[in-house]
Amino acid sequence: MTDPVIETQGLLKSFKGLNALNGLNLSVPAGSIFGFLGRNGAGKTTTIKLLMGFLKPNGGNACVFSLNATDAAAGVEIRRRVGLVTEDKDLYPYMTVEQIVRFTRGFFPRWRDDLDQRYLKVFDLPPKRKISDLSKGMRSKLMLLLGISHGEELLILDEPTEGLDPVAVEEMLRELVAISGAGGTTIFSSSHQLEEVEQIAEHVCIIDRGAAIVTGSLDDLKAQYRRLRIVLGEELRAPIHWADGADHVHQEGRTVEILASRNVDAILNQARSLPGASVECFPVTLKEIFLEHARRN
């Protein structure tokens, strides 16, 4: 295994005494599309700012390319090697599309002219138009174009599909898949749009109140999580002590519903051993996992 491209350990950040990050652990494998999920205000943007060295943490470590993001010199190096697409689309409004491309490329030694030319066409961006005259969707695409054309091995996107219509979202996801398929680029994308992430991400981390609550390969998570519905022969007199992994148990009369995060087979066996029990087992969507954790906190 190669080193993770992004790694944080116990990352802490507070603003005016309020904890934005509460000991975040993150590990992003090289070459993956990584979905960084969470509600608004969960700490996603703060994390990205710390990774880029725009903010200093109050504790813990943040490394990008094994460089310490809290070190000023390393921060410069990181910013040079990362294609960053941020949420705030404050580009220079008086420049034209062409001008901002030329302006930006000056900062990045590995700029790929072929990519900026390609994405001007793919995204159908008018080179001569002023940024102030672009629609919100076009601005998002322009930001993505600038991020991609760095030609770097890490692309960090903060809510890249915010404000895009469904067709533009699908186009953008397709381009991200194409970049990933071409090899050599790790894509780290924050979002609260679960369906989009679910569609293209290989690994996910769900962050809530500044800490990772679920993390892993999307396929593995889907394979581990199950919802069980058990109908018992008779009402239970005493509550059952369920096996490890039965995270959430809800009982109503003779029906027991369990959301299991792992160890499903043991829980299934346990359920079957109950007198007169009929057991059903369903797959769980990312949305259900997300809502379940959001409710619990």
Partner 1 sequence: MLFHLSPSSGVPIYLQLMEQVKHAVETGALRAGDQLPTIRKLAEDLVMNPNTVVRAYRELQHEGIIELRHGSGAYISEAVAGRTRVTRKAQAIVQSALERLMSLDLTKDEARRLFENELALLRAETNSEGGKND
Please identify, among the stretches 27-35, 76-84, 148-156, 204-212, the one whose residues bind partner 1 according to the rule CB under 8 A: 27-35
Q: Hey, what amino acid is at 248?
A: H
Please identify, among the stretches 51-59, 101-109, 123-131, 273-281, the one whose residues bind partner 1 according to the rule CB under 8 A: 273-281
Q: Which residue has the tokens 């994405």?
A: 119
Q: How far is the CB of 266 from partner 1 (least distance, A)?
A: 8
Q: Does residue 51 contact residue 2 with C-beta atoms inside 8 Å?
A: no
Among 177, 231, 249, 274, indicate the residue that binds partner 1 (CB under 8 A). 177
List binders of partner 1 among 48-77 (CB under 8 A): none
Q: Does residue 145 contact residue 120 with C-beta atoms inside 8 Å?
A: yes
Among 87, 281, 293, 294, indicate the residue that binds partner 1 (CB under 8 A). 281
Cβ nearer to partner 1, comparing 273 with 297: 273
Q: How far is the CB of 32 from partner 1 (least distance, A)?
A: 7
Please identify, among the stretches 102-110, 233-241, 246-254, 267-275, the one whose residues bind partner 1 according to the rule CB under 8 A: 267-275
- The span from the CA of 277 to the CA of 71, in Å, is 59
Please identify, among the stretches 116-124, 132-140, 151-159, 179-187, the one whose residues bind partner 1 according to the rule CB under 8 A: 179-187
Among 77, 162, 170, 257, indicate the residue that binds partner 1 (CB under 8 A). 170
Considering the rule CB under 8 A, would residue 32 count as an interface residue with partner 1? yes
Please identify, among the stretches 5-13, 75-83, 155-163, 222-230, the one whose residues bind partner 1 according to the rule CB under 8 A: 222-230
Residue 274: phi and psi, rounded to 5, are: -75, 145
For the CA atoms of the chain, what is the radius of gyration?
23
Considering the rule CB under 8 A, would residue 264 count as an interface residue with partner 1? yes
Q: Does residue 140 contact residue 191 with C-beta atoms inside 8 Å?
A: no
Burial degree of 72 (CB within 10 A; 0-12, 13-18, 19+): exposed
- The span from the CA of 158 to the CA of 86, in Å, is 5
Among 71, 165, 195, 244, indicate the residue that binds partner 1 (CB under 8 A). 195
Considering the rule CB under 8 A, would residue 120 count as an interface residue with partner 1? no
Considering the rule CB under 8 A, would residue 153 count as an interface residue with partner 1? no
Which residues make Cβ contacts (< 8 Å) with residue 163, sequence separation at least 6? 136, 137, 140
Cβ nearer to partner 1, comparing 20 with 256: 256
For partner 1, how many residues bind (rule: CB under 8 A)? 40
Strands (E), the chain: 6-15, 18-28, 33-37, 59-64, 67-68, 82-85, 154-158, 186-191, 203-208, 211-217, 226-231, 246-252, 255-260, 278-283
Considering the rule CB under 8 A, would residue 174 count as an interface residue with partner 1? yes
- The span from the CA of 149 to the CA of 101, in Å, is 9
Q: Does residue 235 contact residue 208 with C-beta atoms inside 8 Å?
A: no
Considering the rule CB under 8 A, would residue 42 count as an interface residue with partner 1? no
- Binding residues for partner 1, per CB under 8 A? 31-33, 170, 173-174, 177-178, 180-182, 194-195, 198-202, 218-219, 222-223, 225, 264-266, 268-269, 272, 278-288
